[in-house]
Amino acid sequence: MTYLDYQATTPLAPEAREAMLRWLADDGFANPHSAHRMGRAAAAAVEVARDQVAALFPPGGKVVFTGSATEALNLAIRGGPYGPVAVSAIEHAAVRDTARWFGSDFELPVSADGVMDPEVPFPDEAKLIAVMQVNNEIGTVQPVARLAERARAAGALFLCDAVQGAGKIAPPAGADLIAVSAHKLYGPKGIGALWVRDGVHLSPVILGGGQEGGLRSGTLSPALCAGFGAAAALSLARMAQDAAHVEALRDAARDVLSRWTLNGSADRRWPGNLNLRLDGLDVGRLMSECRTIAFSAGSACASGSGRPSHVLAALGLSAAQAKNSIRLGFGRYTTRDELIEACRTLDAAARSQGV
Amino acid sequence: MSPDSLYLDHAATTPLLPAARDALLHGFAIWANPSSPHRPGRAARAALEEARARLKAALHWDGEVIFTSGASEALALAISRCVQPLAGVSVVEHEAVLRHAGDAARIPVDGLGLVDPAASALPGLVAVQQVNNETGVMQPLEAIAAAVRGAGGLLLADSAQGVGKLALPDADLIALSAHKFGGPIGVGALLVRDWALLRPTGGQERGYRGGTENLPGVLAMVAALEAGAGWLDHAVELRDRLDTAITAAGGVSIAEETARVPSIAAYRMPGKSANAQLIRFDGMGIAVSAGSACSSGSLRTSHVLDAMGIDGANEVIRVSIGRETTEADIDRFIAAWQQVAG
């Protein structure tokens, strides 16, 4: 099986797994909020992990651990009150749906190459602007530093979903709130974080024991925190190396798939994402004929809901073009040989369809 | 935990069971996203749904299951998304309920910490826990459920301290947390009698809870649940031993006269503040707590003990027993208690 779905989730890094084992051992358990000695040892491990995760973000803020990036985004959006929220047309459902349910819903357009105009007009009423750093479906990198600067000038807060960029590229500068997920950077599932700039005040969504400075109640898992911390530290240490590897993979894949059309900008994208289309391609048939390759249909919303992709629609692609699209995602543990082999298999299967 | 440590704080969290650890490690290897359409994604989905079915079987629950990051999230979800607004909460609920309570009615308890079912007959969502986390007192949920439903309301039971030990209560919504019964921290569930009781918000878990599912955590939670509660018979003996010895040594066993989960006890040591006791016990390598872990370390007195009208509430500590606790452990604690009590 060749796994080419790194935007959906990434393999657990052995280093992250190892970091968790200490807190899964017989003598490793404790509630980090307990006052006794064992509780204090667990709390210390959580704080070490918090520092490791904090290194993913700019200075000048604090890390709030959550159960997922979705929860972090919910906390950021629902923790207001801000007033009206404006979100980009290509945000993940975790932002779009939350903004729709809990705030009013202004949509900021995106250009045909999947990159926002950094000078896109903001609605005057908007008090929170949400634009993601790297799009999960097409990999385009957004001009978040400029957008954040303009949001500030307009008196609005800026929320950045950095799930796909964290640990891979430099953090979004100027954001007030940044959400990340451990399992997209080779860490465990079940933990994410919201970074909150100093001076930004939020109200909690999950109330209770008052953990995380009162912003997020619920017992923290020392194991999940340690796994997240180890994965973050590894990603930062390997950032240049991982990026070079992924660029080389991208070049190799593009060579094989040179006749396929790339959805979204070729230059302003994370190289570990190729969203490609071939006119007339039957993606369902391709998936069933290439069962040893794990990839996603470009047409389906990445949340797994089966909804059509709002991202490809926002690029101006027709429904047919969206249905002709696939998403290939690769990363640290993908080898050049397996990727080339998979791309050849996909291309040959497409040809056998007559496209 | 160093070899000379004695852990009697199992209500805060209890060790991961070997079967749960094995399931977790197995789950780390099934790392694809259960929402992905490809083969590894479908395999992860199949494992998740099989775990859901096993959880329902282990709990004898034929309603729906929403996996969450823990009981706090499950309770927040239930209260914020229930089709009925929160009408009442018992005054001895965990903060995870109380802090959401707004101006909902506060349902009082008697001196034993028990809710009067008649007082919970409110038309709306009513939250009453199955087991109190500080005293172990079990609420008469069958009668409470009947009263709530008779008034046209719905019952939300926080069963964080009950699941894995007691049969599920008869409630419409039930919150549980894996790490209270030998599963890992960071996973739990909200049980819902019928989807129609909640308003969806989109995302995973049939649109009721967004976020990639923590499959390793879910697998480990189910494995822990399947380990059963056979050890509780032994816990009854251990707690009786504690009750007898501590009462004989001048202590007071809180709510001793009513039905309590056998794993939790609360004791007052007259004349010694709980904080002073904790420092002494901690120095002897014994982990116990004053009230819940979340509130430990703070100087406020327990809202639970206050609501029961307990004299000397700030002199009460919680001792909670686990699956591996032995008679020798209990005797060591009793000796330490006698020493601290002077």
Residue with tokens 């001048």: B250
Residues A252 and A206 in one domain: no
Residues B99 and B193 in one domain: yes
Of A34, A93, A190, the CB nearest to B296: A34
Whether the predicted pLDDT of B264 surpasses 90: yes
Residues B197 and B274 in one domain: no
Residues B192 and B290 in one domain: no
Residue B1 maps to a domain: no
Of B21, B35, B37, the CB nearest to A287: B37
Whether the predicted pLDDT of B301 surpasses 90: no
Residue B249 maps to a domain: yes
Residues A183 and A273 in one domain: no
Residues B187 and B64 in one domain: yes
Residues A296 and A227 in one domain: no
The CATH number assigned to the domain holding A126 equals 3.40.640.10
pTM given for the model: 0.95
Interface mutation target, options A10, A97, A205, A207, chain B, most CBs of B under 10 Å: A207
Residues A104 and A219 in one domain: yes
Q: Which residues of A touch B289 (CB under 8 A)?
A: 34-36
Cβ within 8 Å, pair A304-B35: yes
pLDDT attached to residue A343: 98
Residues A190 and A81 in one domain: yes
Residues B222 and B240 in one domain: no
Least confident of A72-81, B216-225, B321-330: A72-81
| Domain count within chain B | 2
Residues B127 and B29 in one domain: yes
The CATH number assigned to the domain holding B77 equals 3.40.640.10
Nearest CA in chain A to B70: A218
Of B211, B282, B287, the CB nearest to A67: B211
Domain stop point among A190, A214, A237: A237
Domain stop point among A237, A264, A287: A237
The CATH number assigned to the domain holding B312 equals 3.90.1150.10
Residues B277 and B327 in one domain: yes
Residues A200 and A254 in one domain: no
Q: Which residues of B touch A218 (CB under 8 A)?
A: 69-73, 96
The Cα–Cα gap between B40 and A3 comes to 8
**What is the least distance, in Å, from the CA of A37 to any CA of chain B?**
7
Residues A229 and A249 in one domain: no
The Cα–Cα gap between B306 and B303 comes to 5
Residues A137 and A202 in one domain: yes
**What is the least distance, in Å, from the CA of B322 to any CA of chain A?**
13
**What is the least distance, in Å, from the CA of A344 to any CA of chain B?**
18
Owning domain of residue A279: 2-9+238-352
pLDDT attached to residue B21: 98
Mean pLDDT of B220-235: 97
Give the pLDDT confidence of B30-72 residue by residue, as tens digits: 999 999 999 999 999 999 999 999 999 999 999 999 999 999 9
Cβ within 8 Å, pair B177-A293: no
Interface mutation target, options B6, B9, B28, B38, chain A, most CBs of A under 10 Å: B38
Residues B182 and B64 in one domain: yes
Per-residue confidence band for A214, with pLDDT thresholds at 50, 70 and 90: very high
Is residue A301 among the annotated active site residues?
A: yes
Owning domain of residue B247: 6-15+230-341
pLDDT attached to residue A306: 63
| Domain count within chain A | 2
List C-alpha distances in Å: A232 to A48, A165, A168, A298. Answer: 12, 12, 10, 28
Mean pLDDT of A193-212: 95
Residues B284 and B181 in one domain: no
The Cα–Cα gap between B97 and A234 comes to 38
Q: What ipTM was reported for this prediction?
A: 0.93
Contact (CB, 8 A) for A154 and A119: no
Residues A288 and A315 in one domain: yes
Per-residue confidence band for B1, with pLDDT thresholds at 50, 70 and 90: low
Of A67, A207, A297, the CB nearest to B69: A67
Mean pLDDT of A306-331: 92
Domain stop point among B226, B248, B266: B226
List C-alpha distances in Å: B259 to B130, B140, B216. Answer: 11, 9, 35
pLDDT attached to residue B295: 57
The Cα–Cα gap between A51 and A96 comes to 30
Mean pLDDT of B301-308: 93
Give the pLDDT confidence of B84-125 residue by residue, as tens digits: 999 999 999 999 999 999 999 999 999 999 999 999 999 999
Residues A124 and A176 in one domain: yes
The CATH number assigned to the domain holding A325 equals 3.90.1150.10
Contact (CB, 8 A) for B242 and B260: no
Catalytic one among B294, B298, B299, B326?
A: B294
How many Cβ pairs closer than 8 A exist between chain A and B?
Answer: 231
Q: Which residues of B touch A291 (CB under 8 A)?
A: 39
Q: Which residues of A touch B96 (CB under 8 A)?
A: 206-209, 217-218
Residues A71 and A172 in one domain: yes
A159, two tokens: 């929320």
Domain stop point among A213, A237, A261: A237
List C-alpha distances in Å: A38 to A159, A222, B116. Answer: 37, 12, 38
Domain stop point among B177, B209, B226: B226
Domain stop point among B176, B203, B226: B226
pLDDT attached to residue B293: 60
The Cα–Cα gap between A134 and A115 comes to 10
Radius of gyration of chain B (CA): 20
pLDDT attached to residue B12: 95
Cβ within 8 Å, pair B15-A26: yes
Residues A116 and A194 in one domain: yes
A2, two tokens: 């060749």
